[in-house]
Amino acid sequence: MTILEAPARPRAPISPNALILIAAVLGLGWAVASGVQPLGVITFAFVAAAWVLSVGIHEFGHAFTAYKAGDTTIVEKGYLTLDPLKYSDLFTTIIIPLVALALGGIGFPGGAVYLREDLMRSRGWRSLASLAGPLGTLVVLVVIAVSLPLATASPPLFNALSLLAMLQASALVLNLLPVPGLDGYGVIRPFLPERVQTGMIKVERVGFLILFALIFWVPGVSDFIFAAALTITDLLGVSRPAIGEGWRTFHFWGS
């Protein structure tokens, strides 16, 4: 997700929080692989922590591209540090995505970076800055899929990673939808007539909530998201049964 904001002064990009999060993901991954009990709780924590890390990578993609495009305010905002706290908003980054994960197993887009599109060199760069986030998600998805054979010795870890791959795929699908407020719309927005862009500003502010409502309350929408995401994971060789087992372990309160 990308939002526009006023400029800020530069600051050194250093983040111990990113290292702590990476250490937590690795530690929880080891615990899942070792079968530490309660496995459901540990799996939930591992997937949730890895999800937050993946959101950071997604937002870093936006920020790095915007910086290359001419938005130097990115440095001051700390967006080049992978610090999850810099990309966090209580409602859109934590509450809504966790509810989406818990209720439907959907990797709902979370996090936000505030970009200065007026500082970017061209419409093409502005479009690329929006596309860079989903490309980051795609990289994470491919890395997980390629790493799965290394986890076959531990079914719990294999299943958890398979679920995580599915969540990345669903996030990729959602982010690329041309819905105002999401990256798919951000990709095409610079090329739309000025009056259309202006008219969509208010819609962008609530597009996130509209999509959430459509997914969970309009029949067929979530089915489309799952079908598209599963098509992607199938192409990458991710096992559907493993995704299901990972979900059942992750969703420990529903067992």
Catalytic residue annotation: 59
pLDDT in tens, 84-94: 888 877 677 66
- The answer to whether 116 and 4 have CB atoms below 8 angstroms apart is yes
Q: SS3 of 2, please?
A: strand
Distance of alpha carbon 169 from alpha carbon 167, whole angstroms = 5
- The answer to whether 247 and 195 have CB atoms below 8 angstroms apart is no
Give whole-number Cα distances, 46 to 36, 113, 218, 225, 250, in Å.
12, 24, 30, 23, 9
Highest mean pLDDT among 86-90, 116-120, 210-214: 116-120
Range of the domain at 22: 2-254
At 12 the pLDDT is: 45
Among 40-54, 156-170, 197-211, 215-229, name the one with the lowest average pLDDT.
197-211
Q: Which helix (H) or strand (E) holds 46?
A: helix 39-69
pLDDT in tens, 31-79: 999 999 999 999 999 999 999 899 899 999 999 999 999 999 999 899 9
Q: SS3 of 114, please?
A: strand
Number of compact structural domains in the chain: 1
Compute the mean pLDDT over every residue in the chain, rounded to the nearest whole number.
90
pTM: 0.91
Distance of alpha carbon 255 from alpha carbon 176, whole angstroms = 33
